[in-house]
A and B are shown apart, each in its own frame.
Chain A
Amino acid sequence: EVQLVESGGGLVQPGRSLRLSCAASGFTFDDYAMHWVRQAPGKGLEWVSGISWNSGSIGYADSVKGRFTISRDNAKNSLYLQMNSLRAEDTALYYCAKNPYYGATGYFDYWGQGTLVTVSS
């Protein structure tokens, strides 16, 4: 059974940093691209970033480019999102999502339950 478990969310002040993690199990992690998708309270879904199976292809939404860094450790079956210079508008539930392909583009066939990031002073 595919499982994606996010962690690392919490309350953080504007301008500070936070690192999210996603622990994957139930599939061969290094065969697939992975993504982060977020959802602000009461709002729709927003793709944040994606990374190919070997980290060779990476993409970011314009809203986070230059502030967020996605990475993965295939030996640990883990996906990460380093978030710097956080803003109030980054407040959201952050989902880890699996891609059905190895490339960095695609759709999302499995999702975690999300970790909540709140940016507030």
Chain B
Amino acid sequence: EIVLTQSPGTLSLSPGERATLSCRASQSVSSSYLAWYQQKPGQAPRLLIYGASSRATGIPDRFSGSGSGTDFTLTISRLEPEDFAVYYCQQYGSSPKLTFGGGTKVEIK
């Protein structure tokens, strides 16, 4: 089973700042099969990025994903007030076992 470790656990930033979230895998994620989700309190998760770097439908271009192998990054170029939330990475290269990272909370500083 591929274990995903997200860091930092909490990121305290101000609106307008750049956010960089890390997701590290215990072994290589094949074909960059990695996705990112955003979850706000009381809501279901929302898909942001799939295939490590492809934005999902309707996702603003301030969100970008990068990386390959075992190291992946989600970048939010300029934080908007609605971006403060918890972010999860998920790998889907290890079929049929799918795994999530523990999450990074982006909070207002």
Contacts and interface: CB of A to CB of B under 8 A. Distances in A.
Interface of A: 35, 44-47, 50, 57-62, 95, 100, 103-114
A111 B56 CA distance: 14
Nearest to A100: B50
A59 B97 contact: yes
B90 interface: yes
Given A47-B90, A107-B33, 14 more contacts: A35-B98, A44-B101, A44-B103, A45-B90, A58-B96, A60-B96, A62-B1, A62-B97, A95-B45, A103-B95, A107-B35, A107-B50, A107-B92, A109-B56
Contacts of B28: none
Interface residues of B, number: 24
Nearest to B102: A44
Given A44-B102, A57-B96, A107 B47 contact: yes
Nearest to A47: B98
Interface in B72-104: 88, 90, 92-93, 95-103
B103 A95 contact: no
A46 B35 contact: no
B95 A45 contact: no
A62 B98 CA distance: 11
A111 B45 CA distance: 7
